[in-house]
Structures are given as structure tokens and as C-alpha cells.
């Protein structure tokens, strides 16, 4: 019996592990920025870009409402993806790094919502303050 080389399977296993590690790193945290009149949130494959002029509500909420997952994932205290509101059927984007902390509820467009928080609650507070300033420039 001939002994075959398993180099193909070894390369496939290593490539799969590298791909899974890369995807995990992309989704590990939320990346936010405000640039050129838009607020952008990116977490791996999920991203949302909202014109600042379309944001009409920003508030802290203790928890996200019950929703159906359209696509996305939950892992420990992280929740990311696109969900559907059980009542209205609207799409809701969720970028939550820590379910135990307060979340920002950002309302934009006609009836769109986005829930966001970062691992660092001070960074989440900075985003809240910045978005509130863009909504009403007369506030501090």
C-alpha cells in the first residue's frame, strides 16, 4: 500500500483556520467614524452609513427589543447583524459589543433604527454627544 502525501488537506485546514481567525478579528469590535456628513458603523461584513441630516433621534436604552434575526450572529455578549422588528417588520441594524451596557438607539430615515454600543462605554458616550451635537448644534 502506498502512503500518499496529505499536503492538500494540510493546506486546506491551515487556510480554513486562517480565514476563520480573520473573520473573527473583523467582527470582534465595531468601528465607527463621522466623515463627510455621514455616520458610519462597520463590523466585519455588516456596515451602515447614515447621512447625519437623516438622524432624528439618539437616546440610550437599557436593552434592545425582542426581534427576529434576519442574518447576523450572537456570541457571548455581542449581537451583530440585521434583525426584523416583530411588530412592524422593519429592518433594524444591531452593532452591540456588550449586551450588559447601555445601547445607543439611533433613529433615522422614515422609520429606521440602529442599536450600537462599543466595548468602552466612554467611547459610546462620545458618539452620543457627537450625534446630539449634529442634531441640535445649539446644545453643548
pLDDT tens, position by position, 67-101: 888 988 887 888 889 999 888 888 999 999 999 99
- The pTM for the full model equals 0.80
The pLDDT assigned to 93 comes to 93
For residues 107 and 54, give the distance between their C-alpha atoms in angstroms, rounded to a whole number: 9
Residue 2 scores a pLDDT above 80: no
What integer is the mean pLDDT of 102-124? 92
Number of helices followed by number of strands (H, E) in the chain: 2, 9
Pseudo-torsion of CA 11, 13, 16, 17, nearest 10°?
Answer: -110
Residue 55 scores a pLDDT above 80: yes
Q: Are 104 and 59 in contact (CB under 8 A)?
A: yes
What integer is the mean pLDDT of 29-42? 90
The pLDDT assigned to 3 comes to 62
The pLDDT assigned to 22 comes to 86
What integer is the mean pLDDT of 56-64? 92
The pLDDT assigned to 139 comes to 52
What integer is the mean pLDDT of 20-29? 81
Least confident of 11-15, 77-81, 126-130: 77-81
The pLDDT assigned to 17 comes to 95
Give the full edge-to-edge strand order of the sheet including 46-51.
31-35, 38-43, 46-51
Amino acid at each position: 500500500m502506498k502512503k500518499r502525501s496529505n499536503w492538500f488537506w494540510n493546506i486546506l485546514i491551515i487556510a480554513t483556520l486562517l480565514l476563520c481567525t480573520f473573520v473573527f478579528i473583523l467582527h470582534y469590535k465595531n468601528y465607527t467614524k463621522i466623515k463627510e456628513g455621514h455616520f458610519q458603523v462597520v463590523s466585519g461584513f455588516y456596515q451602515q452609513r447614515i447621512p447625519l441630516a437623516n438622524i432624528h433621534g439618539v437616546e440610550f436604552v437599557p436593552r434592545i427589543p425582542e426581534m427576529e434575526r434576519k442574518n447576523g450572529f450572537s456570541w457571548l455578549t455581542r449581537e451583530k447583524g440585521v434583525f426584523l422588528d416583530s411588530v412592524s417588520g422593519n429592518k433594524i441594524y444591531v452593532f452591540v459589543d456588550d449586551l450588559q451596557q447601555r445601547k445607543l438607539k439611533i433613529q433615522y430615515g422614515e422609520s429606521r433604527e440602529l442599536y450600537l454600543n462599543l466595548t468602552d462605554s466612554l467611547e459610546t458616550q462620545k458618539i452620543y454627544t457627537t450625534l446630539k451635537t449634529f442634531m441640535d448644534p445649539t446644545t453643548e
